[in-house]
Amino acid sequence: MSSNTISEYLSLPSSARVDSPNQTQQWLDALLSGGISVLSSVSDSIRSKLATAVLNDVAAASGTRQGDYLLNARTDIRWNSAIRLSALKLLKELSRLPGGSAPLAKPEALRILLQQVDFPKQRVPRSPRSISAKLTGSQAASSPSSSTVSNNAASYTLGSIAKSLRRAVNRRGSQQSDCRLSKDKDIPSSDSGGEDYDLGADPDWPITDMALRCLNNALFLNEAARLPFSSEDVGGGHVAVTLLSRPQDTPADILFLGARLLFFSTLFESPFNKTAVSTLKAVRIEASCIDALVKATIEKAANRNASSSVLVASGSEAQLNMALSDLLKAHFNICLYYPRIVQAEAKQSQSNGSTASTSAGQSESQRPILGESFDPELLDMLRPLLSVITMLPLPSPVPLMPPFAHAIAALLNYPVADVKREILSDKMASSGSLSALTAPISPLSTEALQSAPLYIKRLITFADVTLARYFASAATNDDGRRVPEDVDAKAVKQKASADGIDLEDTLEPILLLLRKTAAEDDTLRSLLASILLPTDLDRSLALDRRLDVLGRLVRLMSSVTLSRPACASGELLLSLCNGDAKQMTEAIGYGPCAGFLMNTGLASALPSGAAATDSNGRMVDPITGEYEPTEEEKAMDEINRMTEEEKEAEAERLSS
């Protein structure tokens, strides 16, 4: 039945199908009713022909965009919304299958799908009549499938998008965009200078949603299509940024799909990274979008039926988290690649004998930090990133899940000096509710944790709760001594797998962020040390036997199967000790540190031969890091090792 329907569909020319909407709707319904199993039953070549035919029909039946791209205006529409939606649904199913995906990844196909995308209703500055007339004339003189026309249209629309985005960002500002968008959003601002405005049409979100899913499937399965998609010839990156520019007025799923397109557009050193930041002001737009998503998530958590905006009403907590996670992933790409592109261009300019303004007089926040490059253009996203860490409710039982994991990855790119300035500001420094570790380390540690900025509390909580979940409590052996868990036990990774996470990928970033925080700022290092490695430790038990976050960090250093977290844990503890390996061995004991120090070429950092004393004046074993036993403890230990018969014999000897 499916093959017959496909044959009938393909037997007619595109013009006939476009002019027969009722018959076309019947064919589309028949194919969709069978689901993906029906489409899987035909050959790859048939799926390819069908995808190409449906795509061309959608292009011809959807009309031509009129005027500014952001107005959602079309003329000469041949199919109604229901038929166009059915056609796009079929393309979405085909895009998941061999043979059906490749046709959608071609530049002209990407353009056709982008033409189906609408934007939130808004006022747009009216273009000069001469430009509109010129554009209309060029379109009328050519075939709709002409690549020349597509390029002309892309050039015009991308220019209007860039202009509108720059205007919106400059007018609203990154910190106040949400409230201004929700209030009098259709009224031109006072800086309009008397310009005339056109009001956009209502967006067709179902069609936009389906077109975006087709695009994402095509880009996911066809890596070679990602660079052309983000180019100015196709304009996909511009559309992705624009979809994020009015978050309060956009459904959560549209933001998610737009963020995913931005992720594909910014992968690797795509030239679009620079266009996004420099031309489209994407970092400020991302910041506004993150703020809106965080507020919507908090509102939704408090009331599942909340509907204060299109965004809040459209999505569940899960949908909002998905949008937030993908936007953070896209921003990580920009953090990674934009500075590299700018620096490469500066070096090229220098090599050509030019004076590169970015090469001289750099501030601390502009210089490479610990081998990483950074650009101050990214700073607009810092406060929203911190708000993800500090404001969103922690999931249970696994806190280090998206979007937190993606925010932590992005923060690894930011200089600690800028982070410190934000977290110590009046708004971010609020300690909020009392925090507690899963097991207290010491009185001074607890006191320091309570007075720490909320951001620091959250980072430590992430590490503490995650380590406590996957490294079980120690057991007690026959002599009553506690035996720590085996960090390399199979059960550790099995539990993480059951939770749907990779333990190495999850643990390493949070430990590296804590290490970076301690390594780049003395004040924050002292604060972290006072919480995680305080001076009033009870050393009656070796540190690697403790049942708290400190003990787990020390044991993690010795892991063989979790090599990356093991190294990150060692680097964190070393940073807490001022980067001094000898100080580290004196604080923890040479034994627990030996493996890490050997792997990092610091094995010669031996503690002094004599036993040190702690803050209580007791002697500490330099190898184990625990108290040297007193004479009374030695005697008691010897008695405890005696059998009952030996104890009776000793008692008789002493009484005789």
Rounded to whole angstroms, the Cα distance separating 628 from 389 reads 42
What percent of the chain shows pLDDT beyond 70?
77
CB neighbour list of residue 655: distance below 8 Å, 6 or more residues apart: none
Summarised one tens digit per residue, pLDDT across range 405-422 is: 999 999 999 999 999 999
- Say which residue the tokens 């797998």 belong to: 497
Q: What is the CATH number of the domain that holds 17?
A: 1.25.10.10
636 plus 579 within the same structural domain: no
Q: Are residues 636 and 614 in the same domain?
A: no
40-54, 418-432, 443-457: the lowest-pLDDT one: 418-432
More confident residue, 171 or 551: 551
Give the DSSP H or E segment for 404: helix 404-411
Average pLDDT over residues 302-308: 93
Is 12 within the bounds of a domain? yes
pLDDT digits (tens, 9 = 90+) for 4-22: 899 999 999 999 999 999 9
Residues 455 and 311 in one domain: no
Shared domain for 573 and 555, answered yes or no, is yes
397 compared with 606, residue with greater pLDDT: 397
Highest mean pLDDT among 65-69, 103-107, 579-583: 103-107
Predicted local distance difference test score (pLDDT) of residue 634: 55
- Residue closest to 169 by CA, chosen among 314, 334, 377, 310: 377
In this prediction, residue 199 carries a pLDDT of: 84
Q: Which residues fall within 8 angstroms of residue 145, CB to CB, at 6 or more apart?
A: 56, 59, 108
Least confident of 249-253, 333-337, 629-633: 629-633
Instruction: Look up residue 529 and give its two tokens.
Output: 């040390």
Last residue of a domain, one of 334, 360, 387: 334
CB 510 within 8 A of CB 428: no
Least confident of 4-18, 62-76, 298-312, 364-378: 364-378
Whether 498 and 592 map to the same domain: the answer is: yes
Whether residue 635 has pLDDT greater than 50: yes
**β-strand partners of 199:** 123
Asked if residue 370 is part of any domain, the answer here is no
Helices (H) and strands (E) in the chain, counts: 32, 8
H or E element that contains 468: helix 454-470
Question: Is pLDDT above 60 for 388?
Answer: yes
Distance (Å, whole) CA 541 – CA 556:
17
Which candidate, 114, 112, 99, 121, places its Cα nearest to that of 49? 99
> What does the radius of gyration of the chain's CA atoms come to, in whole angstroms?
31
Asked whether residue 427 carries a pLDDT value surpassing 70, the answer given is no
Q: What is the DSSP letter of 95?
A: T
Distance CA 535, CA 280 (A): 51
Sequential DSSP letters for 406-460: HHHHHHTTS-HHHHHHHHTSTTT----S----SS---HHHHHHHHHS-HHHHHHH
The per-residue pLDDT of the chain, averaged, comes to 84
606 and 636 share one domain: no
Range of the domain at 557: 415-625
Q: Is residue 350 part of a domain?
A: no
Q: What is the rounded average pLDDT of the residues 354-379?
A: 59
Q: Which of 308, 334, 360 delimits the end of a domain?
A: 334
Residue 511 in contact with residue 503, Cβ under 8 Å?
A: no
Asked if residue 473 is part of any domain, the answer here is yes
pLDDT at 436: 85
Do 98 and 211 fall into the same domain?
yes
Same domain, 514 and 643: no
Same domain, yes or no, for 7 and 49? Answer: yes
What pLDDT is recorded for position 3?
80
Dist. CA 27–CA 20, nearest whole Å: 11
Is residue 187 included in any domain, yes or no? no
DSSP label at residue 501: -
Domains in the chain, number: 3
Burial of 599 (0-12, 13-18, 19+ CB in 10 A): middle
By the 8 A CB rule, do 149 and 138 touch?
yes
- Looking at the fold, whether 545 and 636 belong to one and the same domain comes out as no
Euclidean distance between CA atoms 53 and 58, whole angstroms:
9
- Does 464 share its domain with 526? yes
**Residue 621's pLDDT band (boundaries 50, 70, 90)?**
confident
Q: Quote the tokens at residue 596.
A: 């890490």
In 413-551, DSSP assigns E strands to 475-476, 482-483
Looking at the domain assignment, is residue 398 inside a domain? Answer: no
109: in domain: yes
pLDDT digits (tens, 9 = 90+) for 78-87: 999 999 999 9
* Pairing status of strand 74-75 against strand 64-65: antiparallel
CA distance 411 to 259: 18
* Buried b or exposed e, range 552-567, using 16+ CB within 10 angstroms: bbbbbbbbeebebbbb
Q: Which of 325, 320, 318, 302 is nearest to 310 (CA)?
A: 320
E strands, 70-152, in order? 74-75, 123-125
Provide the token pair at 346.
């500066």
Contacts of 589 (CB under 8 A, 6+ apart): 542, 543, 544, 607, 621, 622, 623, 624, 625, 626
Element housing 293 (H / E): helix 282-302
Rounded CA separation 639/650 (Å): 9
CA atoms within 13 A on the CB side of 422: 20
Asked whether the predicted pLDDT for residue 298 surpasses 70, the reply is yes
Considering the domain boundaries, does residue 346 fall inside one?
A: no
Q: Does 598 lie in the same domain as 463?
A: yes
The CA–CA distances, whole Å, from 12 to 30, 91, 93 equal 17, 18, 22
pLDDT tens, position by position, 343-358: 988 888 887 765 444 4
> pLDDT at residue 488 above 80?
yes
Residue 135: CB atoms within 10 A of its CB come to 20
Last residue of a domain, one of 286, 317, 334: 334
